[in-house]
Amino acid sequence: MPFDETNYIQKEIPEESQKEDGSAFSVIENDVPEFVGFKTFRPLNLEDIERSFAENAAQMYVYDVDGDGLNDVITVWHCHKYGLVWHKQIRGANGEISWEKHEILPVQPDLESKDLRISQMHSLALADTDGDGIKEIITGKRFWAHGEHGDPESNQPAVIYAFEIKRGESGVEFIPHMIDGDSGAGTQIITADLSGGGRADVLTSGKKGVYAHFYNSFNVL
């Protein structure tokens, strides 16, 4: 189809939002894409709505996590520290939007605990790796992002995890599945069907090297 500029609307993102590390374009409220920055939710036709989605985000995704028909926001809370979060979209009686924060991995973990925690999650992907129609949240450790001692627990194993979203009567559960324990991910995780098996495989690169992780089956933890 020939280029027709009348098919496009150009809208400049305000300067302060251009500096935000994490951002996403997706449909939250209307039938046109809206900008979601990690400090703001910015519907294109409305004034900015201040909302802190993260302290220092990685990639952000807009996805209906709990399957209630309303898009939610998924991101890392601090890409050099801790926290993997999703923000549930809530609609008020008059259609007003608010957000409810839920932690998938703790923002302030107990370092004495054996519970799963990952520091330096500087990249995030969303893809259906097991082919069940629901996307998994894929993230990993950016090993030595600021060198050996620059970030919390810099020397912990360079893991990659898929968090399976399980929707149930009592809400949403996130089941962690370790994809790999010694590779990690830099600032971007790519998913693509490399093997031709019809499911998303996972590509990572970082200080531990460049890897393709082919989906076989989820480890049962």
Judge contact between 140 and 207, C-beta under 8 A: no
Whole-number CA gyration radius for the chain: 18
Phi, psi of 166 (to 5 degrees): -115, 115
How many residues in total does the chain contain?
221
User: What CA–CA distance (Å, rounded) separates 190 from 166?
Assistant: 23
Please, which residue, 32 or 175, has the CB nearer to Ca ion? Answer: 175
Task: Please state, in angstroms and rounded to a whole number, the distance separating the CA atoms of residues 216 and 48.
Answer: 44
Token duo for residue 31: 């039938």
Rounded to a whole number of angstroms, the minimum distance from the CB of residue 80 to Ca ion is 28
Query: Distance between CA atoms of 93 and 120, rounded to whole angstroms?
Result: 39
State the residues that interact with Ca ion by CB under 5 A: 64, 66, 68, 70, 72, 128, 130, 132, 134
Q: How far is the CB of 99 from Ca ion (least distance, A)?
A: 11
Q: Please, which residue, 107 or 172, has the CB nearer to Ca ion? A: 172
Whole-number minimum distance, CB 46 to Ca ion, in Å?
Answer: 20
Determine the 3-state secondary structure of 5 from DSSP: helix
Beta carbon nearer to Ca ion, 16 or 132: 132
176 phi, psi to nearest 5 deg: -80, 135
> Measured from the CB atom, is 125 or 145 closer to Ca ion?
125
The least distance separating Ca ion from the CB of residue 177, rounded to whole angstroms, comes to 10
Nearer to Ca ion by C-beta: 124 or 158? 124
Nearest approach, Cβ of residue 67 and Ca ion (Å):
7
Q: What are phi and psi of 87, to 5 degrees?
A: -115, 115
